[in-house]
């Protein structure tokens, strides 16, 4: 019996996209099977609009690698090109709004389980600090909840993507009655986990994406946002208030405010010195101290210095300005295309496009505060979302 390569590719693409939220291993294995099925079955490949920008990004990365002082150390970034194939696989296999519907359901299920695990971790950390007589804030900021992940930034980025896509489905997708009940239970858990992860940049990014959705859904609901935010601030635990206030009143080096000044300004110095090809993949960390501005003390604040906590600064410092502009152009142009299609009317695909716009807004805003596209899990979910939404958008515009 001849294998049904079309069906294999479809289910593996959907499975790869869904598993981005819970398991890197499952995502990459399913992606490999999907790509193999497409090749063996000689199935047609769809390429995204503005694929030329991605080609520039890939080629410039290789040039930057070749010109760096340690090309071998940058090979992990070349291997990460495999993750980018998620975009092509999902775009080629998923073409209907119903496909994205099930992707949203799968992400909500995985995100909810991860959120529950994160809330369990929060309770344990709270109890442990109380039992030891320690100040919770000082003990928690450096060791926050991570859900199924290894870091709280990854966890928060996943919660943001799940929340924004599922809100779009709730507002415009008319989910089934049983699913609406599930959403009513699960979405608050995801939102609570995101809040308790204490990731300030993700709070801002999620807020901007959610404001876009609310404005497009029912504009009057935007007025409720500051009221709800104030209520959460006033009624929340003291540690949450401290975290919010740390935006303008940091607790010394406990918060990353000074650290962010160092990575931002040092990154600018790297770009000034190497604007075309950067320092090379994975070379920002080893050369960081060489580019610290003269007016900053040489003693570094506590923090992680292997990347620059900003996709715009990091890509430019690591691979050169052309690489950074190429990859950002791809995402920004894709976002603009979706907005234009929504302006012309999208019919049943509206919720898919609204969710895609919100996700890209969130990812690009979060990129101002974190190197989120360097994180495999966030990169995978972002590419899966772009592929799925672009597939539906293309099918909708051709119908």
What does pLDDT average to in each consecutive run of 10 residues of the chain (399 residues)?
Answer: 87 97 95 97 94 98 97 96 97 95 97 98 96 93 94 97 97 87 95 96 97 97 90 86 89 83 97 98 97 94 95 98 98 97 88 98 98 96 98 80
Convert the pLDDT of each residue in 266-322 to its tens digit: 999 999 999 999 999 999 999 999 999 999 998 999 999 999 999 999 999 999 999
CB neighbour list of residue 21: distance below 8 Å, 6 or more residues apart? 106, 107, 110, 111, 114, 158, 161, 162, 377, 381
Distance (Å, rounded) from C-alpha 314 to C-alpha 282?
Answer: 10
Show the DSSP H helices in the chain as ranges. Answer: 5-19, 24-40, 51-67, 75-79, 81-93, 97-132, 136-140, 152-172, 177-196, 200-217, 224-235, 238-245, 257-273, 311-319, 321-344, 350-366, 376-398
Convert the pLDDT of each residue in 135-182 to its tens digit: 999 999 999 999 999 999 999 999 999 999 999 999 999 888 888 899
Q: What is the pLDDT of residue 1?
A: 59
pTM, full prediction:
0.96
CB neighbour list of residue 372: distance below 8 Å, 6 or more residues apart? 153, 157, 311, 363, 366, 378, 379
Q: What is the pLDDT of residue 2?
A: 65
Q: What is the pLDDT of residue 67?
A: 97
- Please check whether residue 166 is in contact with residue 107, taking contact to mean a CB–CB distance below 8 angstroms: yes
Please report the sign of the dihedral spanned by the C-alpha atoms of residue 131, residue 136, residue 141, residue 144.
positive
Of residues 249, 338, 259, the one with CA closest to residue 300: 259
Domain residues of the chain, as ranges? 5-253+307-398
Q: What is the pLDDT of residue 178?
A: 83
Q: What is the pLDDT of residue 298?
A: 86
Distance (Å, rounded) from C-alpha 78 to C-alpha 250?
Answer: 38
Please report the sign of the dihedral spanned by the C-alpha atoms of residue 152, residue 200, residue 305, residue 364.
positive
């Amino acid at each position: 019996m001849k294998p049904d390569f079309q069906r294999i590719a479809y289910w593996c693409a959907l499975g790869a996209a869904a598993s981005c939220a819970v398991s890197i291993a499952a995502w990459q294995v399913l992606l490999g099977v999907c790509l193999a099925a497409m090749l063996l079955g000689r199935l047609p490949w769809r390429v995204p609009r503005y694929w030329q920008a991605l080609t520039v990004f890939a080629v410039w990365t290789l040039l930057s690698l070749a010109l760096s002082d340690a090309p071998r150390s940058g090979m992990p970034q070349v291997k990460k090109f495999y993750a980018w194939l998620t975009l092509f696989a999902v775009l080629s296999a998923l073409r209907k709004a119903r496909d994205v519907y099930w992707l949203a359901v799968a992400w909500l299920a995985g995100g909810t389980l991860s959120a529950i695990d994160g809330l369990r971790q929060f309770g344990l950390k709270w109890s442990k600090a109380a039992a030891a007589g320690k100040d919770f804030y000082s003990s928690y900021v450096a060791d926050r909840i991570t859900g199924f992940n290894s870091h709280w930034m990854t966890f928060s980025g996943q919660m943001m993507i799940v929340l924004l896509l599922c809100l779009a489905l709730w507002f415009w997708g008319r989910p089934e009655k049983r699913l609406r009940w599930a959403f009513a239970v699960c979405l608050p858990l995801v939102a609570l986990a995101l809040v308790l992860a204490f990731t300030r940049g993700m709070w801002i990014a999620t807020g901007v994406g959610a404001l876009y959705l609310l404005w497009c859904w029912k504009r009057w609901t935007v007025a409720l946002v500051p009221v709800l935010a104030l209520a959460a601030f006033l009624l929340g635990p003291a540690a949450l208030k401290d975290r919010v206030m740390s935006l303008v009143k940091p607790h010394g080096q406990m918060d990353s405010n000074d650290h962010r000044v160092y990575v931002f300004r040092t990154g600018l110095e790297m770009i000034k010195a190497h604007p075309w090809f950067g320092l090379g993949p994975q070379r920002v960390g080893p050369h960081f101290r060489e580019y610290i501005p003269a007016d900053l003390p040489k003693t570094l604040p506590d923090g992680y210095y292997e990347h620059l906590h900003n996709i715009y600064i990091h890509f430019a410092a690591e691979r050169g300005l052309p690489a950074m502009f190429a990859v950002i152009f791809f995402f920004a142009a894709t976002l603009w295309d979706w907005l234009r299609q929504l302006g012309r009317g999208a019919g049943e695909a509206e919720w898919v496009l609204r969710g895609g716009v919100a996700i890209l807004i969130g990812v690009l805003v979060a990129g101002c505060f974190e190197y989120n596209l360097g994180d495999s899990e966030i990169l995978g979910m972002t590419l899966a979302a772009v592929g799925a939404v672009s597939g539906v958008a293309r099918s909708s515009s051709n119908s």
